[in-house]
Amino acid sequence: MENLVREKRIALGMTQDELSALLDVSRQTIISLEKGRYNPSITLAFKLSKLFQCAIEEIFIYEEE
Amino acid sequence: MENLVREKRIALGMTQDELSALLDVSRQTIISLEKGRYNPSITLAFKLSKLFQCAIEEIFIYEEE
DNA sequence: ACTTTACGTAAAGTATACTTTACTTGCAAA
DNA sequence: TTTGCAAGTAAAGTATACTTTACGTAAAGT
């Protein structure tokens, strides 16, 4: 699943470290997310949605199968 | 996290078994989801979103911490 | 040169989403 | 009264999200 985490983070002028702290996850989680190594849990998606002030669907692009 | 899976499923006149088949997950997954035993992965949330034709935010209600 | 900052990798461990199997219960219809 | 369907429980196993630690690299500042 594609995502715009990196773009949105940079748009806010934040480092991966700062973002991870705000979301209460590890920096590794942010790195892996941005690199597309795995999909987030729905709770992490909601946290990002709230922080970035946009819908989950605007951050994560779902293509079926 | 609260969710409206049961309500939306029944509104479509479907059984748990039929829903699980359409989503390609086990019936146990649907039962546990409806019972609120765990949160779905973001991919399952997207599948439900598509099937129910509404935003993820309309199915899953996120309350922080 | 060296330090700091931001980003990256690798690997092993933990938590949790999801599966599989098997058995139970309530209800409605034959 | 028994058969079948929809929903439920329980437990053990697998897949994956996420953590932790430790180390590597390139760029910018002093």
DSSP string across B32-63: HHHTTSSPPBHHHHHHHHHHHTS-HHHHEE--
- Domain formed by A2-61, architecture: Orthogonal Bundle (1.10)
What's this model's pTM, rounded to 2 decimal places?
A: 0.93
To the nearest 10°, the Cα dihedral for B28, B6, A41, B1?
-120
Q: What is the pLDDT of residues A14-57, one digit of tens each?
A: 999 999 999 999 999 999 999 999 999 999 999 999 999 999 99
| Interchain CB distance below 8 Å, A62 and B56 | no
* C-alpha to C-alpha distance for A60 and A49, rounded to whole angstroms: 10
Nucleotides of D under 7 A from a protein CB: 5-11, 16-21
Within 8 A of A49 by CB-CB distance, chain B residues are 57
Domain segments of chain B: what residues?
A: 2-61
Residue B16 has what pLDDT? 98
**Distance linking the first and last C-alpha atoms of chain A:** 10
